[in-house]
Amino acid sequence: MIFKTNTCALYGIEGHVIEVETDLSNGLPGFDIVGLPDAAVRESRERVRAAIKNSDFLFPQKRITVNLAPANIRKEGSIFDLAIAAGILGVSMYIINEALEGFAFLGELSLNGNVKGIKGVLPMCLSLKEKGFRKLILSKDNADEAALVGGMEIYPVESITEMVEFFKGNRDITPHEVNPEAILRSSNEEEYDFEDVRGQNTAKRALEIAAAGAHNVIMLGPPGAGKTMLARRLPSILPEMSFEESLEVTKIYSIAGLLKDKLYLITRRPFRSPHHTMSAGSLIGGGKVPHPGEVSLSHYGVLFLDEMPEFPKNVLEVLRQPLEDECVTISRVGGTITYPAKFMLISSVNPCPCGYYGDGTGRCSCSPSQIKSYLGRISGPLMDRIDLHIEVPAVNFSDLSCRTKEENSASIKKRISKARKLQLERYKNEGIYFNSQLKPKQVTTYCIIGKKERDLLKNAFERFNFSARAYNRILKVARTIADLEESENIKIEHIAEAIQYRSLDRKYTL
Ligand SMILES: Nc1ncnc2c1ncn2[C@@H]1O[C@H](COP(=O)(O)OP(=O)(O)O)[C@@H](O)[C@H]1O
Ligand SMILES: [Mg+2]
């Protein structure tokens, strides 16, 4: 006799329906799980056996074979417990097959038969819905998250006893629904706003340009100048996320187990600021059951690397792939998985190890070779992906004590949204969205400049000894500046401003 139940497995942010076939045959009592299960899935035998016995059901004294199909994909973790238990309760006649029509099961079991919450319910639930499932049995802990998907009947259960009673028709469970007002809660949270930053007009302008063209940024300035403060406020001027973007970000947070109050569609762009002691694995993602790393948690938002030269070289190097491909591929036994990782990189550096080089006070005691090796820790290929260098000098007293009101984020955001719209329209047939994504060939098509502009650029190259890599970056940034002005052509003042944002090329040779 064979009994079938359904559950879901995650690969990256995509879910695959897994069919759990339970077969009961005569022979020596035993319990096997086949179909490429990992160690954690095999352990589920012991949990399921204990859970069934401790819930006062009879565990069949026959040969049980559980097959997880399709067999070619690797199954990981404890999420199949509930589906396996339902299968065994099915072959033991506690549940009848017809009752299960259209149901899927997601949950881990504890030894006493309670159903526990799992990570990644949101993406699993979306995939199940896509595959035509409309009813879901899961833990109460996951009910809110699952209900975010909408259009599914979510039946939360506390224990397998409750599940059996439900299928027998002895107990009613009202499908769980989420209060739409509660979903919006994340957008009412307090946010950092640019109006708190006094002065620093040059830095603010540069961040506005960065946000408008999705350019990566490095900020250079002494400690206390407000670099962290400025970076934190960047998400507040980025355009609102679309519903699809929100959902994609929320999926990643669901897989990472980071949906704080479980009723949370992430509507704010993420801001992640990992410490420099973190490992390459936590930055990029990984582990036995690969979890998303900081680069994926920053998806559609901002990844801030404060004091970038303090990060070990190998950690910085792993950033190159996601910066190039907008996703990360994690290889491990049994295949590779991919998580999205499309973020704006904002980094900060002090000008030298002590932080005071070039501030005019003569406090700095670092030798030229120390300064060079400090900044040299950021490799050329990484610097190649950073379009804007922003100098953030220490704020002076008159700026700090000034009583005039600073422009708030909402008003800056309006200009940025306009500039982004122009880019979306211009690149609609190119498969890119922003100026920062222009490939060298596209730069020649979309960043055409006249003779005056070319002469200025030539002069700057000769005077400042720019490297070849600066050329395209200046043009792309100039394109964004022109877009902010809604100017079709790149004009001389746009080029002149863009040249200002290559200070690291001018000052140091990295
Ligand atoms: N322009 C500014 N306007 C208002 N407060 C500022 C400004 N710059 C710095 N501060 C104050 O100084 C603190 C330190 O700034 P921080 O961003 O940590 O500097 P950094 O990261 O450059 O070392 C901030 O938390 C803020 O209170
Ligand atoms: Mg700081």
DSSP-derived secondary structure letter, 175: P
Please give the domain boundaries of the chain with CATH numbers for all domains.
2-178 (3.30.230.10), 187-414 (3.40.50.300)
Ligand 1 touching residue 227 (CB < 6 A): yes
Exposed/middle/buried for residue 320 (C-beta within 10 Å: 0-12, 13-18, 19+): middle
Ligand 1 touching residue 494 (CB < 6 A): no
All residues with CB under 5 Å from ion ligand 2: 228
pLDDT the model gives residue 84: 95
Helices 121-130/243-255 angle, 10° precision: 120
Ligand 1 touching residue 396 (CB < 6 A): no
Atom nearest to 231 CA in ligand 1:
17
CB atoms closer than 10 angstroms to residue 204: 19
Ligand 1 touching residue 225 (CB < 6 A): yes
* Dist CA 127 CA 140 (whole Å): 20
> In tens digits, what is the pLDDT along the chain, a chain of 510 residues?
789 999 999 888 888 999 999 999 998 999 999 887 777 778 899 999 999 999 999 999 999 999 998 988 778 778 899 999 999 999 999 998 888 888 999 999 999 999 999 988 989 999 999 999 999 999 998 888 888 888 899 999 999 999 999 999 999 999 998 766 666 555 555 678 999 998 899 999 999 999 999 999 999 988 888 999 999 999 999 998 888 888 899 889 888 888 765 556 788 899 999 999 988 889 988 877 778 999 999 999 999 999 999 999 889 989 999 998 999 998 876 678 899 999 999 999 988 888 888 777 778 888 888 888 888 888 888 888 899 999 898 887 777 777 788 899 999 999 999 999 999 999 999 989 999 999 989 999 999 999 999 999 999 888 887 877 788 899 999 999 999 999 999 999 999 999 999 877 765 544
pLDDT the model gives residue 264: 65
In three-state secondary structure terms, 8 is strand
Ligand 1 touching residue 395 (CB < 6 A): yes
Strands 14-25 and 63-69: antiparallel
* Dist CA 155 CA 484 (whole Å): 50
- Give, rounded to a whole angstrom, the gap between the first and last alpha carbons of the chain: 70
Ligand 1 touching residue 199 (CB < 6 A): yes
Q: Whose CA is nearest to atom 17 of ligand 1?
A: 226
Which of 194, 229, 347 gets mutated to test ligand 1 (max ligand atoms within 8 A of its CB)? Answer: 229
Atom nearest to 222 CA in ligand 1:
22
Q: Which residue from 468, 482, 271 is spatially nearest to 383, judged by alpha carbons?
A: 468
pTM score, whole prediction: 0.84
pLDDT the model gives residue 510: 40
pLDDT the model gives residue 260: 60
Alpha carbon separation from 339 to 14, 293, 320, 336 (Å, rounded):
9, 9, 15, 10
* Dist CA 420 CA 484 (whole Å): 9
